[in-house]
Structures are given as C-alpha cells and as structure tokens.
C-alpha cells in the first residue's frame, strides 16, 4: 500500500488537492449490480500533510476489477479482489459502464499559523466606565466554518464566536470582544482560545491561545478620618505571578511593601498611592485621606461621624440647594444656619472642606471640580450635630458624536439599514437624550437608564427602511444633556457631522405620456418629456419592434407606431409604452391632366397629409364646389390642400368626356369606330364580349368593330383603349339591342 503524505507527489497545490479529493470516486466494471460500494472510513478528516488511508470494498464479486480514480488519474486495477486501498499513482485505463461511489466527506484541515490579540479601542487610556475592545486574529486556518473562538476573563468564559465562511482554503479571521471596564477588572487577564472543532466524534485538535492583561485607571478613593484616629488602606491588587507592592506618600516612597498600609493618629489631609507590579506589568491606586476636625468644646458624641437628621429638623439652608457643574469648572455654595445656639458649622467634602467655623454662614468653593464621586454636606453643631447634603450634578459633554453604518455600503430601497450614533465620553448618561434627524425632521429619540456618573461611551441605533426619496438626505444625531431647571441654558448639545444617504433603487420612469404626436423631420424621441430616476443611474434605451432606436434621429411619417422606453440598472428595470403619431404637411402626387367621365364626382387627385388636409378647388381664381362633372367643366384647375402644418398647391387639366351609347335593332349590321392621336402614336385596342358575328379591323390610327346581324348577346359595354408609353385613355360605349322598337 502506498500513501501520499504530501501533495507534491502529484504536483498539486493546496487548492488543487482540495478539489481532487472532493471529486475522488471509486469506479469498477459491472455486468449487473444491486449493491453499493462500501467506503471505510466513510468520512475522512486529515491534517494538511498528514496520512490518508481509505479502503473501498465490494460486497459482490460480479466485477472484473476495482480501482480508485480522481476523474483523470487511475491507480492500477485490482482484479478478483473484494477491496482496494486508496493510493496515489498516475495510471490511466479505458473505462465504460462505470458505477461511482464518491468519497465526498473528505475534510482537509490546517491548524492556525498563529494567533494574536491586541486592544483596538482605548488601548492607551483604559479608564473605568469606558468601553474596551480586544481583537483576536487567527491566521491561515481551514476549514474556517469549524473554527471556534472562546474568550475568557481570568478563567471565566465570557463569549464564544464562530464563522460562516464555507471556503475550504486556509483564511485569516478576526474575533472582537467588547466589554465595559470597571476598577474590578484592573489586572484581569483576558484570553482568546482558537480551536478547530469537529464534534464529539471528530479528532481532538490543539488549542491556540493569546493573552492580554488590562490596567484600569479609575477615580481615587477618599477616606474620611477623624483627627488623631487610625486608618487602614487596602491596595486590593491581584495577579499571577503574585504582585509586590510599593506605597508612596505625596509622591515620596515609603518603606511599606504590603497590600495594606496602617496609618496611626492621622492629623493632615494627604494622598497615598499603591503600586502593584509583577513581571507582566503594574497598576496604581491612589487614596485621598481627608481629616475631620471638631472643636474641643464639641461633645464627645458629636466628634463621631455626623449623625444624619431629617432636613426639616436641621436649621440649615443651602444656596443654591442644587448645583449643576460642568466637569473642571469652578463651584461654590453657601450654607446658612438660623440657629442662635450653634457652637459651629462647616463643610465636609473631598475638596474644599472648611473645618469647624463660626456661624451663621460658611462657604464652600473650589476652582475646578474634577471629582466624579463627589459628596458635600454642611453640618451644624448644636446639642447634637445635624447636616444637609448638597445635591451636585457633575456633567461632561461628549468628546465626539458621530454617525456610522453597522454594515458599510449603500442603502437599498425597501431593505432595512442600520445607522449607529456613537457618543464618546459623556456624563451623566442618565441625563442624556439622543435625537435622530432625517434632514430637519426628528425621527427618533432615545434615553438611557444607566446610573453611572462617570463618563461612558454609549451608542444609539436607528433602523431605516430607505425610500428613493432618502437618497442624498442628511442623517444626523445630537446628544443633549437635560440637567433640570438648575442646568445650563441652552441645553448642552453636541451634534454629529451629517451622514449623507446613498440609497440604491431600481429605475422609475415618470412624466411619460401614453400617446404623443410629433411633426415629421422636427421630432425625435429625446424630445419626449419622459424622466428616468434610478441609483445607480440606469441605462435607457428606446425600442421599436424589438430594435433599438437612435433617440436623436428625427422620425418620419412611416415611423408612427408603438415605442418602448426601457431603463435598467443593477437593481432591476422599468419600461413604459408610448404610441407616437408623426404628422406632416400636405403634398400632391398627382398627374398634370385627368380625363373623367361625365357625371363622375371625382377627379382622381387626392393629397396626402396628417391630419387629413382640406382641399379647395379654384378655376379662373374663383373657388368652385366639386360636383358631378359635366362636359362644360373641362378646363384648368388649381387645387389647394391645407392642414395645421402647411399648404400645398397643384395645377391640373380636367377633360370631361361625354358618355356615348348605341342602340341597335336585332338583325341589324353595326359598325363602331375608335380613333386616337398621341406622340408616340398610340396603340388602339377594343375590350368587349366576343361573339361569332363580331369582327375587328384596324387601319392607321383607327380600330373598327363590325357586328353582322346583331343579336341580344351583342349587348354590353364596348371599351376602346388607346395606349402609348406615356399613358392610356379609355372610351366607353354602352350598346343595347331592341326588336321592333322594344329594347332587348
């Protein structure tokens, strides 16, 4: 048995090997066949460059050989064997009457070339409350639809990702994790694991992983400590390997190297910073220690943390009672007591505290308010101590507000499209209102329930089912901070740059008439008022009887008919029908002279034109009415044809021929002559019903009919026709017979 361990042995590329194995089949000669071939195993999953062994078994022996083929290359046939093993040999043999069992469940796998993980959002400033994104890149893996990516935070799985790409070739894919970072995540290890998974009965393949440890920056903690009391500060840092610790006091290194710092008899406001580090990185934590001082005359019970008392029982008034401040701006408030027996009063805050001062008024003020978790209350010491809290709302307008697409690309009419409004670094989010606009029209408003007071990133989604009218319209979103009656006016608002909608839609033909009348030589199809709308801009064609028409070419009278206007783009087509009538001015195509019979009412000269022209006859400058002609109507006439497009004149000579008739008695001999003049000399011919007693003679320019012994069969119309190369004229002679004075 020979096994091919590398596609080079068949001079195949990776892609060609995929196609070859997918098309591989077992074929054999059959006289009769009732059972299928059996493949063992029926499904093959093999790593690229690995070994493939498949047996093909025939349960019957009614064949003269069994072999493998990939459709173009056969291996040597095994005769009189019940099975054959897949080998890779270039061997050809004529085949006929073949039955094929394909090895269709062949999966060629390639484990990832590599895996890499890195932050893609806020990678340089990971601040508590911010949205954090990690990207995991998996390189050159196949088949990707069997790839599973698992995300962990420390050892807790937080997300799974899979892929729908059905290609069999190695590709590179990415998985993105989005999390909201808090101080609890400081030092956490995020891990991305990638593995090809073929189910419980498939092969167990190795796992590939990448890790990233995150350092989170967050607002310092504040400890309120009574003067001369002891306090313990906790660094609360974890890591693997275990971190070592270093404390600093107002920037000066201390000799403390544990996670807990004990401070005895605190008597000054100060800052302590803990640095926790291992060989993978370091994090810091800053704690403010704020000392609360009370006068020596204050009762011992009052020197404890102030007891809360109902606002209505505490004789303090705050001005203002509520403070709305932009982050980084100055802030101040006055506290006034109405009590006359107050021992003292003051403000307790993380910043700008006043200590114990004389009543009746004390002021709190800071130049820049930059502490998000800010609390401030004014206390007064009577026989007991009471306090009132200052309601402080610290706000920050967004750094940016922008509109983007969830899926890049143009909108398509009638298909839902999603737009995203990203609001970066705004606080407090519960006071945020996001408004969406289409043009100047408000189309959606969204508010948020998040009670986070620190700046966060939030998004709002607008679902749009676009119409063609939306093409070119501006979509925008605005972020408004509604901070109540004490908030700034106007309402702080940041508006995005407009997103210009590119809506794709199939063609629409409008303003096109169903019927249209044009004038010959002065009308072409591009003069029609038809308008076409479509995106992408459609191709427009005019068709007549299935053939394209040049829209700039003038139409003639023979081109009246139905035309089809067709507009086509990548999304579809539209068409409409127009019945076009081409009108033209009058014209004559008549001869210069006519001969008509007496009592006839037509001269045989009719004009052409559309609309049908009216014809006026003139003789000697006077208008005459057409009527049955008489002999005296012979002469020269001017015909004038007129319609709305013009006038045409024609001059003709009219010769009115008197009608002749001949009456003969039965048995009588009759002679009828016909002569004619012309240049060239005309040929004269009689047309009549021939009989035995009728003969015709010709002499010069005259033809004569002689009837001997007239009978009733000789009655009828005798027509004399004189013809030359210029034309012909006719003379009609009706003939009747009578007997003894009675017509026959």
Given CA atoms 526, 528, 530, 531 in this order, what sign does their dihedral have?
positive
Note the residue count of the chain. Answer: 744
Task: Say which residues have a Cβ less than 8 Å from residue 93's Cβ, sequence separation at least 6.
Answer: 67, 74, 77
In terms of domains, do 154 and 178 share one?
Answer: yes
Looking at the domain assignment, is residue 248 inside a domain?
yes
Looking at the domain assignment, is residue 301 inside a domain? no
Going by C-alpha positions, the residue among 215, 205, 327 that lies closest to residue 280 is 215
- Alpha-carbon distance of 586 to 610, in angstroms, equals 7
Rounded to 10 degrees, what is the CA torsion of 582, 584, 589, 594? Answer: 110
pLDDT of 3: 33
Residue that terminates a domain, selected from 631, 657, 683? 657
Backbone angles phi, psi at 713, to 5 degrees: -70, -15
End-to-end distance of the chain based on CA atoms, in angstroms?
121
Q: Is residue 300 part of a domain?
A: no
What is the rounded average pLDDT of the residues 543-565? 93
* Digit-coded pLDDT (tens) for 254-284: 877 787 888 877 777 777 888 888 776 677 7
Element (H, E) at 456: strand 456-464
What Rg do the C-alpha atoms of the chain give, in angstroms?
Answer: 55
Examine the domain organization and report whether 644 and 695 are in the same domain.
no
Distance of alpha carbon 491 from the chain centroid: 36
User: Could you tell me the CA-to-CA distances from 345 to 162, 305, 337, 378 in Å, in that order?
Assistant: 64, 14, 8, 7
Residue 302 lies in a domain: no
Q: Look at residues 667, 654, 663 and name the one whose alpha carbon lies nearest to residue 718.
A: 663
Instruction: Indicate whether 513 and 491 sit together in one domain.
Output: no
Specify the 3-state DSSP secondary structure of 344. Answer: strand
In a domain, residue 303? The reply is no
pLDDT tens track for 488-536: 999 999 999 999 999 999 999 999 999 999 999 999 999 999 999 999 9
CATH number of the domain that 607 lies in? Answer: 2.60.40.10
Q: Rounded to an integer, what distance in angstroms lies between the CA atom of residue 593 and that of residue 657?
A: 13
Cross-strand bridge partners of residue 435:
445, 478
What is the average pLDDT across 382-408? 90
CA distance 220 to 347: 20
Instruction: Count up the domains in the chain and report the number.
Output: 8
Evaluate whether 696 touches 704 at the Cβ level (below 8 Å).
yes
Give dist(CA 307, CA 386) in Å, integer.
Answer: 6
Q: Is 237 a domain residue? A: yes
Per-residue pLDDT tens digits for 299-329: 333 344 444 434 457 899 999 989 999 999 9
Using the predicted structure, report yes or no on whether residue 427 has a pLDDT greater than 90: yes
The rounded mean pLDDT for the chain is 80
Of the chain, the percentage scoring pLDDT greater than 90 comes to 38
User: Do 391 and 324 have their domain in common?
Assistant: yes
Q: Are strands 635-643 and 702-707 parallel, antiparallel or unpaired?
A: unpaired
- The boundaries of the domain holding residue 692 are 662-738
* Residue 108 banded pLDDT, cuts 50, 70, 90: confident
Task: Tell me which of 149 and 76 has the higher pLDDT.
Answer: 149
Distances (CA, A) of 490 to 120, 122, 395, 444, 480: 36, 31, 14, 21, 10
Q: What whole-number distance in Å separates Cα of residue 217 and Cα of residue 283?
A: 8
Give the pLDDT score at 125. 52
Do 525 and 472 share a structural domain? Answer: no
According to the model, what pLDDT value does residue 465 have? 94
Q: Please give the model's pTM, rounded to 2 decimal places.
A: 0.47
Give the up-direction half-sphere exposure of residue 638: CA atoms within 13 A in the CB hemisphere. 10
Q: What is the mean pLDDT of residues 4-9?
A: 36
Query: Are 484 and 448 contained in the same domain?
Result: yes
Per-residue confidence (pLDDT) for residue 100, from 0 to 100? 37
Q: Are residues 146 and 239 in the same domain?
A: no
Highest average pLDDT, of 6-20, 539-553, 625-639, 684-698, comes from: 539-553
250 Cβ contact list (under 8 Å, min separation 6): 270, 271
Q: What span, in angstroms and rounded, lies between the C-alpha atoms of 56 and 63?
A: 14
Q: Are 443 and 366 found together in one domain?
A: no
User: What percent of the chain lies above the pLDDT cut of 70?
Assistant: 79
540 and 606 in one domain? no
**Predicted local distance difference test score (pLDDT) of residue 9:** 36
**Long-range contacts of the stretch 599-602 (C-beta < 8 A, 24+):** 599/628, 599/629, 599/630, 599/659, 600/628, 600/629, 601/626, 601/627, 601/628, 601/629
462 versus 715: the higher-pLDDT residue is 462
Whether residue 308 is contained in a domain is answered as no
Query: CA triplet 573, 576, 581: central angle to 5 degrees?
Result: 150
**pLDDT for residue 650:** 93
CA distance 684 to 720: 7
For the ranges 50-54, 198-202, 219-223, 482-486, the one whose mean pLDDT is highest: 482-486
Give the range with max mean pLDDT: 2-16, 55-69, 464-478, 629-643.
Answer: 464-478
Mean pLDDT across 534-561: 93
pLDDT of 186-221, one tens digit each? 778 899 999 998 887 778 889 999 998 887 766 555
* Burial (CB count within 10 angstroms: exposed 0-12, middle 13-18, buried 19+), residue 606: middle
pLDDT band at 663 (very low <50, low <70, confident <90, very high): confident
Based on the domain organization, do 121 and 211 belong to the same domain?
yes
Minimum mean pLDDT range among 262-276, 473-487, 508-522, 669-683: 262-276
652: helix, coil or strand?
strand
Over the stretch 684-721, which tens digit does the pLDDT of each residue have?
888 888 888 999 988 878 889 999 988 888 888 888 88
CA atoms of 590 and 585, how far apart (whole Å) = 16
Strands (E), 465-560: 474-481, 493-495, 499-500, 503-510, 515-519, 531-535, 539-544, 547-548
What is the mean pLDDT of the segment spanning 578-587?
Answer: 95
In the chain, how many H helices and how many E strands? 1, 60
d(CA 562, CA 546) in angstroms, rounded, equals: 11
Are 351 and 263 within one domain? no
Q: Which of 93, 109, 125 is the last residue of a domain?
A: 109
Report the SS3 class of residue 316.
strand
**Are residues 182 and 124 both part of a single domain?**
yes
Cα 316 to Cα 308: distance, rounded to the nearest angstrom: 13
- What are the backbone angles phi and psi of residue 22, rounded to the nearest 5°? -65, -30
Last residue of a domain, one of 471, 501, 531: 501
| pLDDT: which is higher, 628 or 462 | 462
Strands across the sheet containing 694-699: 670-675, 702-707, 694-699
pLDDT at res. 63:
64
Burial class (CB in 10 A: 0-12, 13-18, 19+), 171: middle
For residues 162 and 259, is the Cβ–Cβ distance under 8 A?
A: no
User: What is residue 218's predicted lDDT score, i.e. its pLDDT?
Assistant: 60
* Overall average pLDDT of the 646-663 stretch: 83
């Amino acid at each position: 048995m020979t096994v091919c361990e590398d596609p080079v042995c068949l001079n195949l590329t990776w892609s060609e090997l995929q196609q070859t194995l997918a098309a591989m089949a077992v074929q054999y000669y059959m006289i009769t066949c009732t059972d299928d071939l059996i493949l063992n195993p029926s499904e093959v999953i093999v790593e690229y460059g690995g070994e493939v062994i498949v047996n093909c078994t025939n349960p019957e022996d009614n064949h003269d050989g069994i072999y493998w083929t990939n459709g173009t290359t056969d291996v040597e046939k095994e005769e009189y064997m019940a099975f054959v093993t897949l080998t890779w040999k270039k061997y050809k043999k004529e085949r006929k009457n073949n039955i094929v069992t394909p090895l269709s469940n062949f999966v060629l796998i390639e484990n990832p070339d590599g895996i890499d993980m890195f932050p893609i959002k806020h990678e340089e400033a990971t601040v508590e409350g911010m949205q954090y994104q990690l990207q995991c890149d998996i390189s050159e893996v196949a088949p990707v639809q069997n790839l599973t990516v698992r995300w962990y935070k420390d050892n807790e799985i937080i997300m799974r990702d899979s892929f729908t790409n059905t290609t069999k070739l190695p590709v590179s894919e990415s998985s993105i994790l989005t999390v909201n970072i808090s101080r609890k995540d400081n030092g956490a290890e995020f891990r991305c694991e990638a593995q090809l998974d073929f189910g419980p009965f498939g092969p167990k393949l190795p796992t590939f992983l990448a890790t990233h440890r995150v350092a989170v920056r967050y607002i310092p903690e504040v400890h309120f400590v009574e003067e001369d009391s002891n306090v313990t500060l906790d660094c609360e840092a974890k890591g693997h390997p275990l971190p070592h610790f270093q404390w600093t006091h107002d920037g000066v290194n201390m000799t403390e190297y544990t996670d807990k710092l004990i401070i005895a008899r605190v008597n000054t406001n100060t800052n302590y910073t803990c640095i926790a580090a291992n060989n993978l990185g370091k994090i810091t934590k800053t704690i403010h220690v704020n000392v609360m001082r009370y006068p020596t005359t204050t009762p011992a019970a009052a020197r404890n943390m102030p007891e809360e008392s109902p606002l209505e029982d505490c004789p303090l008034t705050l001005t203002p009672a509520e403070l709305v401040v932009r982050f980084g701006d100055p802030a101040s408030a006055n506290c006034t007591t109405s009590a006359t027996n107050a021992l003292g009063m003051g403000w307790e805050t993380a910043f700008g505290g006043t200590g114990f001062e004389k009543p009746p008024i004390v002021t709190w003020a800071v130049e820049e308010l930059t502490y998000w978790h800010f609390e401030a209350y004014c206390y007064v010491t009577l026989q007991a101590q009471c306090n009132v809290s200052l309601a402080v709302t610290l706000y920050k307008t967004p750094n940016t507000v922008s509109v983007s697409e969830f899926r890049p690309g143009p909108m398509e009419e009638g298909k839902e499209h999603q737009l995203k409004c990203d609001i970066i670094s705004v606080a407090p989010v519960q006071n945020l209102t996001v408004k969406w606009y289409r043009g100047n029209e408000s189309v959606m408003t969204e508010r948020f329930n998040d009670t986070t007071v620190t700046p966060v990133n939030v998004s709002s989604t607008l679902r749009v089912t676009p119409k063609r009218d939306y093409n070119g319209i501006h979509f925008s979103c605005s972020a408004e901070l509604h901070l109540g009656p004490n908030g700034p006016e106007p309402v702080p608002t940041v508006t995005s740059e407009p997103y210009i909608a590119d809506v794709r839609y199939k063609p629409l033909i409008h303003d096109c008439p169903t019927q249209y009348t044009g004038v010959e030589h002065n009308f072409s199809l591009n003069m029609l008022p038809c308008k076409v709308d479509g995106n992408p801009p459609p191709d427009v064609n005019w068709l007549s009887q299935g053939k394209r028409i040049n829209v700039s070419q003038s139409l003639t009278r023979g081109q009246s008919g139905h035309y089809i206007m067709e507009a086509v783009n990548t999304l579809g087509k539209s068409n409409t029908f127009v019945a076009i009538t081409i009108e033209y001015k009058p014209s004559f195509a008549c001869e210069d002279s006519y001969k008509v019979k007496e009592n006839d009412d037509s001269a045989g000269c009719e004009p052409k034109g559309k609309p049908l022209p009216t014809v006026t006859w003139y003789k000697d400058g006077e208008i005459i009415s057409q009527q049955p002609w008489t002999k005296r109507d012979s002469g020269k006439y001017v015909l004038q044809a007129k319609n709305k497009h013009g006038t045409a004149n024609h001059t003709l000579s009219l010769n009115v021929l008197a009608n002749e008739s001949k009456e003969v008695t039965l048995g009588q001999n009759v002679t009828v002559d016909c002569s004619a003049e012309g240049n060239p000399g005309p040929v004269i011919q009689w047309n009549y019903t021939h009989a035995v007693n009728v003969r015709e003679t010709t002499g010069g320019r005259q033809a004569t009919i002689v009837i001997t012994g007239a009978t009733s069969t000789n009655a009828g119309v005798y027509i004399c026709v004189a013809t030359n190369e210029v034309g012909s004229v006719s003379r009609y002679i009706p003939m009747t017979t009578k007997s003894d004075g009675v017509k026959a």
